[in-house]
Amino acid sequence: MADFPEAGPRYLRLLGASPRGHAFLGATRKGRTLPLLSNFSRAYPSLKRFYGSGSRSHMLAERTLRWPMM
Protein backbone atom coordinates (compact mmCIF):
# COMPACT_ATOMS: atom_id res chain seq x y z
CA MET A 1 0.00 0.00 0.00
CA ALA A 2 2.90 2.36 0.67
CA ASP A 3 3.97 2.15 -3.00
CA PHE A 4 0.58 3.19 -4.43
CA PRO A 5 0.58 6.99 -3.82
CA GLU A 6 4.20 7.28 -4.93
CA ALA A 7 3.64 5.21 -8.07
CA GLY A 8 0.59 7.12 -9.28
CA PRO A 9 -2.04 5.56 -11.52
CA ARG A 10 -0.95 2.47 -13.45
CA TYR A 11 -4.02 2.00 -15.68
CA LEU A 12 -7.29 3.63 -16.74
CA ARG A 13 -10.52 1.74 -16.11
CA LEU A 14 -13.29 2.31 -18.66
CA LEU A 15 -16.75 1.88 -17.17
CA GLY A 16 -18.73 2.74 -20.28
CA ALA A 17 -18.66 4.76 -23.47
CA SER A 18 -20.99 5.96 -26.18
CA PRO A 19 -20.30 5.20 -29.86
CA ARG A 20 -18.72 8.64 -30.13
CA GLY A 21 -16.56 7.87 -27.09
CA HIS A 22 -15.44 4.56 -28.62
CA ALA A 23 -14.41 6.42 -31.77
CA PHE A 24 -12.39 8.88 -29.70
CA LEU A 25 -10.69 6.12 -27.74
CA GLY A 26 -9.78 4.30 -30.94
CA ALA A 27 -8.32 7.44 -32.45
CA THR A 28 -6.17 8.17 -29.38
CA ARG A 29 -4.97 4.59 -28.77
CA LYS A 30 -1.35 5.10 -29.85
CA GLY A 31 -0.89 8.27 -27.81
CA ARG A 32 -1.86 6.81 -24.43
CA THR A 33 0.74 6.60 -21.70
CA LEU A 34 -1.40 4.28 -19.54
CA PRO A 35 -3.21 1.09 -20.53
CA LEU A 36 -6.99 1.33 -20.84
CA LEU A 37 -8.83 -1.58 -19.23
CA SER A 38 -12.33 -2.04 -20.56
CA ASN A 39 -12.81 -5.75 -19.87
CA PHE A 40 -11.76 -7.09 -16.46
CA SER A 41 -11.29 -10.63 -17.77
CA ARG A 42 -8.51 -9.30 -20.05
CA ALA A 43 -6.97 -6.92 -17.50
CA TYR A 44 -3.96 -9.04 -16.49
CA PRO A 45 -2.89 -9.90 -20.06
CA SER A 46 -3.35 -6.25 -21.06
CA LEU A 47 -1.11 -5.03 -18.24
CA LYS A 48 1.49 -7.68 -19.06
CA ARG A 49 1.51 -6.69 -22.74
CA PHE A 50 1.66 -2.94 -22.01
CA TYR A 51 4.39 -2.97 -19.33
CA GLY A 52 6.28 -6.16 -20.10
CA SER A 53 6.25 -9.23 -17.91
CA GLY A 54 8.03 -8.88 -14.57
CA SER A 55 8.78 -5.14 -14.75
CA ARG A 56 8.30 -3.01 -11.65
CA SER A 57 5.50 -1.09 -13.36
CA HIS A 58 3.76 -4.35 -14.27
CA MET A 59 3.99 -5.63 -10.69
CA LEU A 60 2.64 -2.35 -9.26
CA ALA A 61 -0.23 -2.32 -11.77
CA GLU A 62 -1.24 -5.87 -10.85
CA ARG A 63 -1.01 -5.12 -7.13
CA THR A 64 -3.16 -2.01 -7.62
CA LEU A 65 -5.72 -4.02 -9.58
CA ARG A 66 -5.90 -6.67 -6.82
CA TRP A 67 -5.73 -4.23 -3.89
CA PRO A 68 -9.38 -4.29 -2.69
CA MET A 69 -9.32 -8.10 -2.81
CA MET A 70 -6.14 -8.51 -0.74
E strands within 1-70?
A: 12-13, 36-37
Taking all residues of the chain, what is their mean pLDDT, rounded to a whole number? 86
Domain of 34 in residue numbering reads as: 3-69
Please give the model's pTM, rounded to 2 decimal places: 0.75
How many angstroms separate the CA atoms of 45 and 63, rounded? 14
* Count of domains observed in the chain: 1
Higher pLDDT, 65 or 67: 65
Convert the pLDDT of each residue in 32-55 to its tens digit.
999 999 888 999 999 999 999 989
Residue 67 pLDDT:
72
